[in-house]
């Protein structure tokens, strides 16, 4: 486990709210979780999404990085070149239409769900829960980030305070005789999979619970194998009450099918059996979801 914390502390995360970031004009959809998780995370899953933090849509003063583990989405904001954060706001939605958009007069169409005041920080991390089915793996998340920053002008010794947004990839437009900013400032992060097996997933298909088989007769064993790190061979074991009691075969081709010509029992037990299929290259494995029976059947 590693902790991601602000360089100057994390106390500001407790003062969440939308005050100062937008004017409330209606609820976002879907509703966001009403809390932010502690800033503690395991190694992130998959690949991060990194975009620039821009002043006036042109000057790069930092970055915004989105990552996730199995429990949370992490949005890390970092500034550079003498710029420090005074306040930051983050919004996340399943569609860009539900994000805050800047309208004429710098008015926001929606509030930012997550916000925090900062005491001149250069790094800050928001941890947003992914629980309760709010997001699913491989779901595209639309993320908008808005930061109030300050920098000391060394020539005049005056503090400059400006607004910065995430890079949108769209240019300034000219309208009504003056320039105005692109109203859609967001980037997309795809929730990365945290599948077990480090790039290989084994799923037992049959027997998977509730089946009735006859001892000393044919039994079909089937499984799915997915992932670049899956090997060419698997082992298959018979379990009784969760404990391996018989090795069906120590190594067979990872084709998704094995025909057990003479299904066996363990100690004469009839029920409580499951099978375990293990990829011999990556170590990924899966067990039947439910138990099945192996009984002595009349010939």
In this model, does residue 193 exceed pLDDT 90? Answer: no
pLDDT in tens, 197-240: 457 889 999 999 999 999 999 999 999 998 888 999 999 999 99
**H or E element, residue 2:** strand 2-3
Residue 194 above 70 pLDDT? yes
The pLDDT value given to residue 145? 93
Average pLDDT, the chain: 78
Residue 4 has pLDDT above 70, yes or no: no
pLDDT score at 184 = 60
Mean pLDDT over 109-131 rounds to: 87
Q: What average pLDDT score do residues 26-47 get?
A: 49
pLDDT at 30 over 50: no
Q: Count CA within 13 A, CB hemisphere, residue 64.
A: 27
The whole-number pLDDT of residue 3 equals 34
What's the sign of the alpha-carbon dihedral 255, 257, 259, 260?
Answer: positive
Q: Indicate the pLDDT class of residue 58, thresholds 50, 70 and 90.
A: confident
Task: With a cut of 70, say whether residue 131 has pLDDT above it.
Answer: no
Share of the chain above pLDDT 70, in %: 72
pLDDT value at residue 133:
54
Query: In terms of DSSP bridges, do strands 178-180 and 257-260 run parallel, antiparallel, or are they unpaired?
Result: unpaired
> Is-contact 79 90, C-beta < 8 A?
no
Please give the average per-residue pLDDT across 117-146, as a whole number: 83
More confident: 101 or 119: 119
């Amino acid at each position: 486990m590693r902790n991601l914390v602000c360089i100057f502390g994390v106390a500001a995360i407790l003062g969440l709210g939308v005050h100062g970031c937008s004017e409330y004009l209606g609820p976002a959809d879907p509703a966001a979780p009403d809390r932010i998780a502690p800033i503690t995370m395991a190694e992130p899953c998959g690949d991060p999404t990194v975009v620039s933090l821009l002043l006036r849509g042109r000057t790069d003063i930092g970055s915004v990085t989105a990552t996730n583990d199995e429990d949370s989405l992490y949005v890390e904001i970092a500034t550079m070149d003498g710029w420090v954060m005074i306040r930051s706001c983050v919004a996340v939605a399943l569609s860009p239409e539900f994000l805050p958009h800047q309208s004429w007069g710098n008015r926001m169409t929606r509030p930012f769900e997550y916000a925090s005041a900062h005491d001149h920080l250069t790094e800050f991390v928001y941890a947003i829960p992914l629980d309760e089915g709010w997001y699913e793996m491989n779901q595209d998340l639309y993320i908008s980030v808005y930061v109030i920053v300050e920098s000391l002008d060394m020539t005049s010794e005056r503090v400059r305070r400006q607004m910065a947004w995430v890079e949108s990839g769209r240019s300034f437009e000219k309208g009504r005789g003056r320039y105005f900013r692109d109203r859609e400032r967001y980037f997309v992060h795809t929730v990365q999979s945290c599948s077990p097996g480090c790039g290989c997933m084994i799923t037992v298909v049959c027997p998977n619970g509730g089946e009735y088989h006859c001892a000393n007769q044919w039994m079909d064993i089937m499984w799915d194998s997915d992932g670049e790190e899956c090997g060419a061979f698997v082992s298959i074991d018979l379990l009784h009450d969760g404990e391996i009691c018989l090795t069906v075969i120590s190594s067979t081709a990872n084709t998704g099918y094995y025909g057990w010509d003479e299904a066996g029992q363990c100690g004469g037990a009839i029920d409580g059996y499951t099978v375990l299929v293990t990829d011999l290259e990556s170590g990924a494995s899966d067990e039947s979801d439910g138990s099945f029976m192996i009984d002595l059947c009349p010939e």
